[in-house]
């Protein structure tokens, strides 16, 4: 399949000016020229545009972060795992400027869980910051407070990685990983609030004793 720019726009739902912008910014590889101002595109451009749209609209990533992801995808020396790492790091909130002292405890927790994680993973700093927040309001807790939460999300993450469509090419696998990470984050947040409301009604509501 090869198509012109207007068809590429129709197929993907991405407006022509946006496609031209992604071409200029090299997020999207050039097509094969068919004239002075025309080129033809193929399935790989459709997949890449779907990925860019997912990173922008679902992942809410800035162009610079999207560029890091597409550059990793186009680097033949990187494995899919390494590309996913770039995408995951782009999705994590920016880490604090200095390593929090709680980072040592987070490393110990990860060791206890047997999780192998790269040294620079921003999520480690995010977890350390969460521990610091609990202490700042006077809670006498250690990183073990997160063990139960880790055991709850570990199997979910394992299933998510196992169900990535790796046979459909790296663009598609990264799109699924990013969308899954963002959408199920929102879903987990919503579900936790709903479960809290249910258990609050059961335990603390005006008719708590009728709730069984």
Residues 93-112 that bind a copy of itself (CB under 8 A): 93, 110
Burial (CB count within 10 angstroms: exposed 0-12, middle 13-18, buried 19+), residue 177: buried
For residues 186 and 188, give the distance between their C-alpha atoms in angstroms, rounded to a whole number: 6
Specify the residue, 104 or 166, whose C-beta has the smaller distance to a copy of itself. Answer: 166
Stretch 35-64 residues interacting with a copy of itself (CB under 8 A): 50, 54, 58
Among 21, 71, 160, 169, binds a copy of itself (CB under 8 A): 160
Q: How far is the CB of 41 from a copy of itself (least distance, A)?
A: 19
Report phi then psi at 41, rounded to 5: -120, 165
Binding residues for a copy of itself, rule CB under 8 A, total 77
Specify the residue, 31 or 66, whose C-beta has the smaller distance to a copy of itself. Answer: 66
**Where do we find the tokens 């980072």?**
103
Specify the residue, 39 or 80, whose C-beta has the smaller distance to a copy of itself. Answer: 80
Binding segment for a copy of itself among 15-23, 24-32, 62-70, 82-90 (CB under 8 A)? 82-90
Beta-carbon contacts of residue 201 (< 8 Å; ≥ 6 apart): 208, 211
Specify the residue, 32 or 195, whose C-beta has the smaller distance to a copy of itself. Answer: 195
Please tell me whether residue 65 binds a copy of itself under the rule CB under 8 A: no
Please tell me whether residue 16 binds a copy of itself under the rule CB under 8 A: no
The CB-based long-range contact list for 182-191 (8 Å cut-off, 24+ gap) reads: 182/58, 182/59, 182/60, 182/91, 183/58, 184/156, 184/160, 188/153
Helix, strand, coil in percent for the chain, rounding step 5:
65, 5, 30
Stretch 181-200 residues interacting with a copy of itself (CB under 8 A): 181-200
For residues 122 and 135, give the distance between their C-alpha atoms in angstroms, rounded to a whole number: 20
Please tell me whether residue 119 binds a copy of itself under the rule CB under 8 A: no
Please tell me whether residue 212 binds a copy of itself under the rule CB under 8 A: no
For residues 78 and 212, give the distance between their C-alpha atoms in angstroms, rounded to a whole number: 55
Among 116, 119, 209, 212, binds a copy of itself (CB under 8 A): 116
For residues 103 and 176, give the distance between their C-alpha atoms in angstroms, rounded to a whole number: 30
Among 5, 14, 61, 127, binds a copy of itself (CB under 8 A): 127
């Amino acid at each position: 399949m090869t198509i012109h720019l207007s068809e590429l726009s129709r197929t993907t739902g991405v407006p022509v000016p946006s496609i031209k912008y992604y071409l200029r910014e090299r997020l999207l590889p050039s097509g094969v020229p068919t004239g002075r101002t025309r080129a033809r595109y193929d399935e790989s451009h459709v997949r890449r545009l779907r990925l860019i749209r997912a990173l922008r609209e679902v992942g809410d990533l800035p162009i610079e972060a999207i560029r890091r992801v597409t550059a990793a995808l186009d680097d033949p020396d990187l494995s899919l795992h390494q590309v996913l790492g770039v995408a995951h790091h782009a999705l994590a909130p920016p880490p604090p400027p200095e390593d929090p002292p709680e980072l040592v405890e987070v490393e110990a927790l990860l060791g206890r869980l047997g999780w192998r994680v790269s040294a620079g993973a921003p999520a480690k700093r995010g977890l350390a910051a969460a521990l610091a927040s609990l202490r700042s309001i006077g809670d006498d807790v250690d990183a073990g407070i997160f063990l139960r939460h880790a055991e709850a999300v570990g199997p979910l993450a394992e299933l998510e990685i196992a169900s990535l469509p790796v046979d459909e090419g790296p663009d598609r696998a990264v799109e699924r990983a990013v969308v899954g990470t963002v959408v199920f984050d929102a879903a987990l947040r919503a579900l936790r609030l709903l479960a809290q409301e249910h258990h609050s009604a059961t335990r603390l509501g005006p008719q708590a004793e009728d709730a069984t």
